[in-house]
Structure 1
Amino acid sequence: MSKTINISSPTQLSEVLQSSRLVVANFYTESSQASQQVAPVFEQLSAALSRPDLVTFVKVDTNQQKDVVQAYRITSQPTFIIFRNGKVAERVQGADPTKLQAVVKKLSDEIQNLGTSGGEASGSGSGSNGGYWRGAELPRNYSDITDQIELHRCELLNYDPDAGNVRVLFDAAKPSALSGGKGATKDWVESDTDEQLLLFMPFQSMLKLHTLQITSLPPSGDDNEDEDVPSRPRTIKLFTNKPHNLGFEEAEDLSATQEIQLSEKDWNAEGTANIPLRFVKFQNITSLVVFVVDGDGEGEKTRLDRLRLVGDAGEKREMGKLEKIGDEPGE
């Protein structure tokens, strides 16, 4: 049986958007051959991925719901819109199953995210395929938007190549340090010649950042007396809307969008610091530079295990890139 909801009024759509974390909407018309062509694919996705109060699939007949069509600027059929927390996150136009499948592949990953944070078990293994892990709860009414980072354009300066690279910071899996296993591959980042790290993250869409979550799990106890053992970051400077990474001298001299001082009390039991941002300064953000200035220990290195961005994502800057959503960027 289909789990898709047929929208009969703007009020009904509004209620669905308020009650479900993710909503996938199919704007169609019965007379459109293109709409009919892709309809079976949409129904299959609805049957496989719908979850009460988490993921809802809806259909909107554009001939019947003129007010909704006008509100969301629907100009062709079919148009698919993915809403996250009631706001437009993705838009796909046309009856191209490849485009729709690509967006839904990304949606599938987010469903694992929602299942974990919403109380439904989705697994939390220590490997890269072990399910979604979260180091801290999400602030109310905001989403994990880490998936908006353009991984292939990220740049990390002064990292030790014997540890992990920049990609491990955004891994959805539980850090190996919390699982008691060291693993063949180090799934964390360490600085190299001193304590400092410079991370440049460009985004796929315009973001509103609310919270930065950083996980750092250096060895504890007697091991930390070794001068080579990394420490957690203490001072962090954030810079917004830079077209590329900064140099270390430039980052030290520039006035930051926000400067953060972390202490022991800021880290929870899973080694994650939940850092609220000055929201008014983090509107309409296209990139973020994270500058780890120093660590909180005696060693000459700092360590980062995971990084999460929390806030709201707008529409894609370039709609043509939708075909590539879900593809694994090249090394």
Structure 2
Amino acid sequence: MTAPVNISSKEQFNNLLTSSTFVVADFHAEWCGPCHAIAPVYEQLSAQLSRPNRITFTKIDVDRQQDIAKAYGITAMPTFMVFERGRPTNTIRGADPTKLNQAIRKLAAEAGKSEPAGDAEGESAGGAWIGAAAPKGYSDITDQFEAKGLELLNRDGDFGVARTLLESSKPSALGNGKGKDAGEGAAAVDWVESDTDEQLMLFIPFMSTLKVHSLQITSLPPPGDDDDDEIPMRPKTLQLYTNRSHVLGFDEAEDIPPVQTVTIQPGDWDAKTGTAKIDLRFVKFQTVFSLNIFIVDGDGDGEKTRVDRIRIFGESGAKREMGKLEKIGDEPGE
């Protein structure tokens, strides 16, 4: 059951307009009696018809989000607006359950007819490849990373860089026409492998304040014998650290308690896409400015770990002023 997304900023709403093909907005006010009367109808439609990255239902309090209401010329409550690929296509004014039902169910039918072929292959509505279905009610927010601050420790220089892991394209190992059979050299490689041992440390600073709900990690080692130590392993143990001002060194990470430790079991990997879904303790990831992802070890006896893609799901908030990252959680003694 998916509840409407309560919009807390213009940036959050704009992000949903970009990441979801269709967005329905309920412009309401706390003092509006008709708004409260029709709310159960709207919430039921959301529960029945929401689809990750395809149809997203939102609620916008016009008193708290006056800039959004002004931008779309909202003068009466409730007003419902339907957006397709970021552009308004329909407006329903007033608390008329019949009109609202008809408009939203027509939208759902249109969404079904216009389902992009890429969805079956793991492509989100925004065009970015994802290895598994997005969690209900949340968007792919991977593109919120600040490219200049990305760092990746212990990577093998013959393979990709930090940004490779956050690319929106389908991994070449799944046959995207890039990299695979494209010849030798770093330009033909779109994945990352560790260097001296199986550990990797990825530092991701963000342009916005995020609420991070879950991660997807894709790893596509070539087939081979399990006891072949030349074949890279899939990640097994991950430690996650939030709101650090810099990439953590491996020794430094040993002295800091992680926000969450994750163990990926062999059965967690999807056989078709090589992707594992990682659910986070959402309450611990409500205000995230940066993320250190520490891959502690791999699943096997190999000497290296391979990662093809990492996707981040949740909600984005207000844009931050870039510069020195806030050092929340860096108090002495941690």
Partners of 1:315 and 1:22 in 2: CA distance: 22
Per-residue deviation, 1:169: 0.7
Deviation at 1:151, TM superposition (A): 1.7
- In structure 2, the residue matched to 1:256 is 258
Unaligned 5+ residue runs, structure 2? Answer: 1-16, 26-52, 74-81, 87-110, 122-126, 323-334
Seen in structure 2, the aligned counterparts of structure 1 residues 286 and 193 have a Cα distance that, compared at 3 Å, is same
Return closer, same or farther for 1:163/1:141 CA change in 2, 3 Å cut-off: same
Q: Secondary structure at the match of 2:117?
A: coil
Report the 3-state secondary structure (helix = DSSP H, G, I; strand = E; otherwise coil) of the residue aligned with 2:247.
coil
Are the structure 2 counterparts of residues 122 and 227 from structure 1 closer, same or farther at C-alpha, using a change threshold of 3 Å? closer
Aligned residue for 1:142?
138
Partner of 2:182: 183
Deviations along 1:130-159, one digit per CA (max 9) or x if unpaired, are x53220111111110001111221100000
- Equivalent position amino acid for 1:173 in 2: S
User: Contact conserved, 2:199 with 2:295, CA < 8 A, in 1?
Assistant: yes
* Aligned positions of 1:176-325 closer than 5 A: 176-179=172-175, 181-184=180-183, 185-222=188-225, 224-269=226-271, 270-318=273-321
Aligned-residue offset at 1:23: 4.8
Q: Give the alignment partner of residue 65 of structure 2, picking from 69, 72, 84.
A: 72
Do 2:224 and 2:231's aligned partners in 1 also have CA atoms closer than 8 Å?
no
What SS does the corresponding residue of 1:211 show, helix, strand or coil?
strand
Shift of 1:76: 11
SS of the residue aligned with 2:262?
A: strand
The TM-score with structure 1 as length reference comes to 0.60
Q: Aligned pair count? A: 227
Distance in 2, matches of 1:122 and 1:273, equals 20
Q: Deviations along 1:32-56, whole A, 9 cap, x unmatched? A: xxxxxxxxxxxxxxxxxxxxx9589
RMSD: 3.6
Conserved? CA contact 2:62–2:69, under 8 Å? no
Equivalent positions of 1:92-103 (< 5 A) are: none
Q: State the 1:220 CA deviation.
A: 1.8
1:97 alignment counterpart: none
Tell me the secondary structure at the aligned position of residue 134 of structure 2. coil
Distance 1:54 1:228 in 2: 41
Distance of aligned partners of 1:313 and 1:75 in 2 relative to their CA distance in 1, 3 Å threshold = closer
Asked if the contact 1:198–1:245 (Cα under 8 Å) also holds between the matched residues in 2, the reply is: yes
Aligned to 1:30: none
> Does residue 160 of structure 1 match 2:153?
no
